[in-house]
Amino acid sequence: MLWAISPFLVALALPLAAQAPTEYQVKAAFLYNFAKFVEWPVNAPGTRFCIGILGTDPFGPLIDETLAGRTLGSRGVVVRRFSRPEDAFDCQIVFVASSATPLKLLLRRFEGKAVLTVGDAPAFCQSGGIIGFQVAERRIRFAVNLEAAERAQLQLSSKLLSLATKVWGSRR
């Protein structure tokens, strides 16, 4: 019966994406994008650009797919997962999952390290994180904690700051 075989035949054709992107698909794209607007200190280690995920991974394999083969500057991008903050110090960007608690204590461990901490737990910036995601009217927004960025020796471009919904610790 042709009808039974037909879906198998046409599935070989190029698939189209079926739905609006999910929250975490867009957040993954943001993580990659942020890197273009942040300057790390010159002596930052590593030949590869590392994006780390600390805690229970909310992205899944989609972040690896999104960033496969991508480069930032001359460095290839790699995604790694960690359960302890100290293992993540060599990454340039660390996404702190909302399951990682206690948040303030964890973020304090990153102080002084050149790591851009990003998260979506409530009050992420107020707890010491550098970029905090919110969802408003089905769109992703972000807020920036400039003081935390300065403590991490990171330079955030004014373009990034202008697109943030809120900036804590504005430049004097």
Partner 1 sequence: MSRIRVKPRPAPIEKLLALASLAAGVGWCQKDLADASLEQLLDTQVTTVSKKQEKLARTAAAVFVVTQEDIQRSGATNIPDLLRMVPGVDVAQIDGSSWAISIRGFNARYSDKVLVLIDGRSVHTTAFSGIYWDQIDLPIEEIERIEVIRGPGGSVWGANAVNGVISIITKSSKATHGGVASLGSGSYTHAADSLSYGGSAGSSGSYRLWGAYNNVADSVQSDGAGGGDGWQRAHGGFRSDWSIGQRDSLTVEGDLFYNQAGHTTDSLFALPGANTFWQSQEAGGGSILGRWTRTSDNGADQSLQVYYSAYHRTELGLPIAETSLDFDYQNRHRMGSRQEVVWGVGYRRTVTDLSSQSWISFSPRVSADALYSAFVEDEIRVTDSLWLTLGTKVEHNPYTGFDVEPSARLAWTATPRSTFWLSAGRAVRQPARAEAEIDVVLGTVSLAAGTPAVLYLLGNPHANAERMTDYEAGYRAQLSRNLSLDAATFVSFYQDLETMAPLPPAIAQYGSGYVMEIPYIYANGGKAFDYGGELAANWNVTRSWRISPAYSMLHVNFRVNPGSEDSFGPALALCSPEYTWQTRSLLNLPAKLSFDQTVSWTARLPGNGIPAHWRVDIRVARRLGESAEVSLVGQNLLQPGFLEFGGQYGIVGTEIPRSIFGRVVLRF
CB-facing half-sphere around the CA of 133: CA atoms within 13 A: 22
Minimum CB distance to partner 1, residue 160 (Å) = 7
**Judged by CB under 8 A, which stretch of 62-70, 87-95, 111-119, 146-154 contacts partner 1?**
62-70
Q: Is 2 in the site for partner 1 (CB under 8 A)?
A: no
- β-pairing, 139-145 vs 131-136, is antiparallel
131 - beta bridge partners? 118, 144
Residue 110 contacts residue 133 (beta carbons within 8 Å): no
Interface residue with partner 1, options 53, 67, 125, 149 (CB under 8 A): 67
In the complex with partner 1, which residue's Cβ is closer, 31 or 128? 31
State which amino acid sits at residue 63: I
Interface residue with partner 1, options 60, 108, 111, 123 (CB under 8 A): 60
Interface residue with partner 1, options 80, 109, 141, 151 (CB under 8 A): 141
Minimum CB distance to partner 1, residue 5 (Å) = 12
Element (H, E) at 76: strand 75-82
